[in-house]
Amino acid sequence: EAGVAQSPRYKIIEKRQSVAFWCNPISGHATLYWYQQILGQGPKLLIQFQNNGVVDDSQLPKDRFSAERLKGVDSTLKIQPAKLEDSAVYLCASSFKGSTEAFFGQGTRLTVV
Amino acid sequence: DAKTTQPPSMDCAEGRAANLPCNHSTISGNEYVYWYRQIHSQGPQYIIHGLKNNETNEMASLIITEDRKSSTLILPHATLRDTAVYYCIVRVGTGANNLFFGTGTRLTVIP
């Protein structure tokens, strides 16, 4: 079974630039999550989708972060404009609706300089 | 969701059992205990979860005390590939949404 695919694996941008990350969840998984993991910390949920609808975006900094899952499958997370403190690994995860287990991708490591 | 306390790091000899403790003294009756781990440069991986009873699967065993205020994850025969950060998470219900990871325990398996 293919896992959660994310791209790119690494990205370096200058502050105030824009960046987008892509996630392809496991086939059939209705629930998709984006997490942010700052170095030395555990992952923190940014947003959760159920199919193409947002379930929880309470911790998403909406002034600069946006995410969409238009067809209920792939998802993109965008940061515009980026700040130095956005340097982190951005993890995408997916699960069956109501499932106990979430499957995570390898993440995208973002460095803002 | 209740907070958890874990030691920041532990070592374990290869082939021996690794016992990772977690304190969750403020856990409420409808909160489950979950364990995930994160190997370097990878995303977190689900290990096991439980409510009251001890649980075992192909990866590990979960021992929850009778008062549910603490639990222990047991890796029966640790291998070098088990070196990772282990997260104990307490949350309501059995869904995978909004997992609060904390900082976890960094387990190093020593040859």
Min Cα distance A46 → chain B (Å) is 9
CB pairs under 8 A between A and B: 62
Edge-first strand listing for the sheet containing A5-7: A5-7, A19-24, A75-79, A65-68
Q: Give the Cα separation of A111 and A39 in Å (integer).
A: 11
Q: Which among A101, A106, A108 is the top mutation candidate for probing chain B, defined by the most B β-carbons within 10 Å of its own β-carbon?
A: A101
With a CB cutoff of 8 Å and minimum separation 6, the contacts of A61 are none
One-letter amino acid for residue B22 of the chain: C
With a CB cutoff of 8 Å and minimum separation 6, the contacts of B79 are B14, B15, B109
Q: Give the Cα separation of A97 and A107 in Å (integer).
A: 22
Distance (Å) of CA B73 to CA A5, A23, A59, B61: 29, 31, 30, 6
* pLDDT attached to residue B69: 95
pLDDT digits (tens, 9 = 90+) for A54-69: 999 999 999 999 999 9
Q: In chain A, what residues touch B4 (CB-CB under 8 Å)?
A: none
pLDDT digits (tens, 9 = 90+) for B56-103: 999 999 999 999 999 999 999 999 999 999 999 998 776 667 788 888
* pLDDT attached to residue A102: 92
Q: In chain B, what residues touch A5 (CB-CB under 8 Å)?
A: none
* pLDDT attached to residue A108: 98
Min Cα distance A86 → chain B (Å) is 18
Residue B8 has pLDDT above 90, yes or no: yes
Q: Which among B40, B98, B105 is the top mutation candidate for probing chain A, defined by the most A β-carbons within 10 Å of its own β-carbon?
A: B98
Q: In chain A, what residues touch B47 (CB-CB under 8 Å)?
A: none
Coil vs helix vs strand at B73:
strand
Which own/partner pairs from A12-15 qualify as long-range (CB within 8 Å, at least 24 positions apart)? A12/A110, A12/A111, A12/A112, A12/A113, A13/A82, A13/A110, A13/A111, A13/A112, A13/A113, A14/A82, A14/A112, A14/A113, A15/A81, A15/A82, A15/A83, A15/A84, A15/A112, A15/A113
* pLDDT attached to residue B1: 61
Q: In chain A, what residues touch B55 (CB-CB under 8 Å)?
A: none
pLDDT digits (tens, 9 = 90+) for A73-107: 999 999 999 999 999 999 999 998 878 889 999 99
pLDDT digits (tens, 9 = 90+) for B42-51: 999 999 999 9
Residue A41, chain B, CB below 8 Å: the answer is yes
Nearest CA in chain B to A33: B97
**Contact across the interface for A104 and B45, Cβ inside 8 Å:** yes
* pLDDT attached to residue B100: 86
Q: Give the Cα separation of B102 and B28 in Å (integer).
A: 18
